[in-house]
Amino acid sequence: MSDKQKGLCDAISNTFPGSHHRWCSRHLYANFKSLHPGVLLRKHFSKAAKASNQFYFDKAMNDMKATKKEAFDWLSRNPPNLWARHAFDFSCKSDHITNNMTESFNQVIGPYRGKPILILIDEIRKQLMKKMQQRYQLGCSFKGRVTPKIKTKLDVGPLKLGGAWALLLE
């Protein structure tokens, strides 16, 4: 997955024939919104990128076309198999539409990138240990059988639980 850097698609296909390439939808949207700003267009773009099947993708794209045809035309020039979840190749086992994970990882290792590999790996290990310790301490402070966030969702959700269910979650 790339941020649509020029030449990268060709380089990847030449170096790894038969490999599948994707574009980060967050980066694609940044280019899209510079030409076609608007909250409604953002909503249509997001629905199209996250659509799990052709029907929902077409519905989002038609909604975009009804809102602003130029935005629809611009997005239609980008092959959906590179940015829309429904069109991804099934042989790839990830349906992520952004490269946020790699960007986060690169941010963590940034200060250690020029160090020898053993130092880099040790710094990654230390970062992971810190994160696990923070989450462990947070988890120890929880009361009940479910996390506070899930309990809030259950309490205000459409099926507000009460009676025996509430007792089970306490």
Output DSSP code: residue 4. -
Q: How many residues does the chain have?
A: 170
pTM of this prediction?
A: 0.61
Q: What is the mean pLDDT of residues 98-110?
A: 78
Q: Enumerate the β-bridge partners of residue 21.
A: none
| Residue 161, pLDDT above cutoff 60 | no
Question: Structure tokens of 72?
Answer: 């629809």
What is the pLDDT confidence band of residue 64, given thresholds at 50, 70 and 90? very high
- pLDDT of 72-101, one tens digit each? 999 999 888 888 888 887 777 666 777 677
pLDDT at 3: 58
For the chain, the C-alpha Rg in angstroms (whole number) is: 22
pLDDT at 20: 74
All structural domains of the chain with their residue ranges: 8-87, 100-156
Q: What percent of the chain has pLDDT over 90?
A: 38
Contact at 8 Å (CB) between 41 and 67?
Answer: yes
Cα torsion 114, 115, 118, 120 to 10°: value is -60
What is the pLDDT confidence band of residue 25, given thresholds at 50, 70 and 90? confident
Q: Using CA of residue 144, residue 145, residue 148, residue 151, what is the dihedral sign? A: negative
